[in-house]
Amino acid sequence: MRKRLIPPSVAIVISVWASLLPLKVASSESEVGMIAMEQILYGFENIQGEKAGALYDLLVAIRSTSGIGLPVVIQPAKRLLATMSRGKKNCTAVINSPDIIKSFDVIEPIGYKLAAGILPVAGIKLKKYSSLKKIKIAVPLGIVFDDKFHSDKTLNKVSTPKYINGIRMMKLGRVDAVAGAVSVLKFIAKQEGLSHHFFDDPLVFTESDLYLVCSFQLNNNERDKLQQAVIKLRSSGKAQEIFNRYFSAAN
């Protein structure tokens, strides 16, 4: 039986294609998903239709500095958590919590703290936790910052899709307070035409560090590059500059 020979031109093409295979493996670093939470100040579309937000800009800077990751996308909180849990390479920036530590690889602190708690309307004094028993509280979906509060079924809590829905319910007198990141709530309220006089002092539960967290599927090289990028952005002050650009408007 005659042996079929491969034409030289075909052999060259196969040889070149085979030589590119290792590059395909190396390029997996670019396949790490980068996801910012969809929320005013965090990740949103501005009036020009451009993506913006403190977490969006931060992840763009981390991607640029590290050379790791796909273009940053913005997803609602529940979808973001579902995406992060699918067993693929993904990263995001969130506050530290027991659930986050258990579910994801906590890479490095960003160097910024977010105060979270309950922001009430003027006249409602929240001196301690028991003060919450007497009021109706809007709680945006996907927002978790205190296990006791979120598991407490004795409180009168109303689920809302986003922060802005809670603020609008507050404005209409349907709830007495909104739960979440205090600076974000104040920023949204300002956009809705509410002055700082509309609110009373918040009951702050936590001042939590913001972290870069990723799924456990990243390899050591990808993890190290991302960690070093965060350290560089934090030590240079660039991470703080990003947050000042957005959060200073909330104060």
Do the Cβ atoms of 228 and 107 come closer than 8 Å? no
pLDDT at 19 over 60: no
The Cα-based distances of 165 to 7, 149, 168 in angstroms read 68, 20, 5
pLDDT, position 14: 30
Contacting residues for 162 by C-beta, under 8 A, at least 6 apart:
39, 140, 141
Strands 203-214 and 156-160: unpaired
Q: How far apart are CA 94 and CA 87, in angstroms?
A: 18
The Cα-based distances of 104 to 88, 98, 110, 211 in angstroms read 12, 10, 16, 11
The pTM score is: 0.73
pLDDT, position 41: 86
The fourth-level CATH superfamily of domain 30-113+208-250 is Periplasmic binding protein-like II (3.40.190.10)
The strand ranges marked E within the chain are: 33-37, 44-45, 51-52, 73-75, 90-95, 105-120, 136-140, 156-160, 177-181, 203-214
pLDDT, tens digit, 9 for 90 and up, residues 94-132: 987 777 888 999 999 999 988 899 999 999 999 999 999
Identity of the residue numbered 176: D
Q: H or E stretch including 243?
A: helix 238-247
* CATH code 3.40.190.10 region(s) in the chain: 30-113+208-250, 115-207
* Torsion from C-alpha of 81, 86, 87, 93, nearest 10 degrees: -20
Q: Can you name the CATH fold of 115-207?
A: D-Maltodextrin-Binding Protein; domain 2 (3.40.190)
**DSSP β-bridge partners for residue 35:** 73, 92
Most confident of 43-52, 56-65, 186-195: 56-65
Mean pLDDT of 163-172: 94
Closest-CA residue to 111 (of 211, 219, 188) = 211
**% of the chain exceeding 70 in pLDDT:** 87
Identity of the residue numbered 126: L
